[in-house]
Amino acid sequence: MLSKRSLVGVPLKFRTLALLFFLFLGGQVFAADPAVSDSEEAISAGKSVFNANCKTCHKLDQKAVGPALRGITDRQSIEWSKSFIKNSQAVIASGDEYANNLYAEYNNLMMPSHEFLSDADLDNLLAYIEYGDKVDPAAEAAAAAAAGGEEGAGGGGIPTQYLTIIIVVLVIVLFLILVVLGLIISILTKYVNKQDLDETDKEFVSQKFEFGKVLKSDAFIIVVTALVVALVAKTAIDGLYTVGVQQGYAPTQPIAYSHALHAGTLEIECQYCHTGVEIGKSANIPSANICMNCHMHVQNVQGQDGISPEIQKIYDAIDNNQPIEWVRIHNLPDLAYFNHSQHVKVGGIECQTCHGPIEEMEVVYQYSSLTMGWCIDCHRETEINAQGNEYYDKLVQLHSESKDALKVKDIGGLECAKCHY
């Protein structure tokens, strides 16, 4: 602490500098809790921690299985946040009021401990929670307005209400045209009847249309027969082309599992359940143990007590040591070979490319035809990402004379032995 006596004999300008230096140091020493870092490095590292440990149950700006995390350091101190993330059970057991209220609000759902996270990991995680992936409100509103316009579009982007008006107007116009034509025919008929015509002309004007004669005419019979034969032939050919194709197949599963909830709302990665998709030929059907990673804690819809009937089926399967007999949806013939890791890990193909909007499906169905022609079309159109891969350098040089990008078909993607051997 500086005193008047300690500054006796010190020139005024040095006293001023010393006072400013002391005030600066004091402001740093006695400042409030350190703020969460907003550096890009910390946010990026925190996003990795979040995706690996938190994303299954939490979102930043809205509730999921657990509460929205954005603003946690505004509601509680940084040290409290770190303690709760590392061991929420201990914080709740300590009698902390906020923690116990949170525990009760989310149906006594206990968050797993994360003791393995270092202080640096926690700092980065809090940085991402506070500053990461923030949505610009103006951009979000513009996107919502655009989405609303698309949803209400019909065909070429015309809003539904305008499309309805156009259809109604067209119907009215067509009706008026028919009325006008009827009046014109009536007027012309009356005019012709008043004229002096010979018997042949009068017979022609007064003749009536006989529908029965038309039906019995040779021309009508030939046309109808040709149409029926063409329709039967087309139906038979279409049926032959669909042999073995199960597009749209959606079997009833033993447990009503919703991909729309898990992959869509909760944004759980496909690889979390289908663990073999990046390391092997098959994506594999998840075992009950994988289900229990979450459902040993999540036992019902938020706000409801007890175990839901569908989740109870998982418990019953484990108690009885019986596998859950999921019904396979996507089947390839034995003569065809397909490797998931080759496409997902090496090729970087998204799951939705083949399986469709899986994150929107309450009941999963076969989205694509999975025919040989469908696969070949994909190999013809899909470009190869050859950057940074020495394996493709020579192929890129050989292909450089062509103006087209290097595609799967250029590396043997259309060879029969690639899929049939």
Residue 152 has pLDDT above 50, yes or no: no
If we measure between CA atoms, which residue out of 88, 96, 90 comes closest to residue 53? 88
Tokens of 95: 């009698």
Strands (E), 17-176: 153-154, 158-159
pLDDT of 60 reads 85
Q: What is the pLDDT of residues 323-345, one digit of tens each?
A: 999 999 999 989 999 999 999 99
Q: What is the largest CA-CA distance in the chain?
A: 142
pLDDT of 310 reads 93
Per the CB < 8 A criterion, the answer to whether 386 and 395 are in contact is: yes
Strands 158-159 and 153-154: antiparallel
Residue 154 has pLDDT above 50, yes or no: no
Q: What is the pLDDT of residues 112-121, one digit of tens each?
A: 778 888 888 8
Residue type, 168: V
pTM: 0.50
Cβ neighbours, 10 Å, residue 141: 11
Domains and CATH numbers, the chain: 40-131 (1.10.760.10), 159-230 (no CATH), 259-419 (no CATH)
Residue 183 has pLDDT above 50, yes or no: yes
Lowest mean pLDDT among 143-147, 194-198, 264-268, 399-403: 143-147
Report the alpha-carbon distance of residue 267 to residue 360 in Å, rounded: 11
Spell 381-399 as b/e; 16+ CB within 10 A means b: ebebebeeeeebeeeeeeb
Cβ neighbours, 10 Å, residue 283: 20
* Confidence category of residue 17, pLDDT binned at 50, 70, 90: very low
Report the alpha-carbon distance of residue 103 to residue 107 in Å, rounded: 7
Q: What is the pLDDT of residues 54-65, one digit of tens each?
A: 877 788 887 777
Q: What is the pLDDT of residues 295-318, one digit of tens each?
A: 988 888 777 888 999 999 999 999
**Mean pLDDT score of the chain, rounded to an integer?**
79
Residue 7 has pLDDT above 80, yes or no: no
If we measure between CA atoms, which residue out of 372, 288, 299, 282 comes closest to residue 325? 288
Lowest mean pLDDT among 152-156, 245-249, 333-337, 414-418: 152-156
Residue 103 has pLDDT above 90, yes or no: no
pLDDT of 244 reads 82
Report the alpha-carbon distance of residue 304 to residue 312 in Å, rounded: 14
Q: Is 180 exposed, middle or buried (0-12, 13-18, 19+ CB in 10 A)?
A: exposed
Place of tokens 């923690």: 99
Q: What is the pLDDT of residues 37-51, one digit of tens each?
A: 778 888 888 888 888
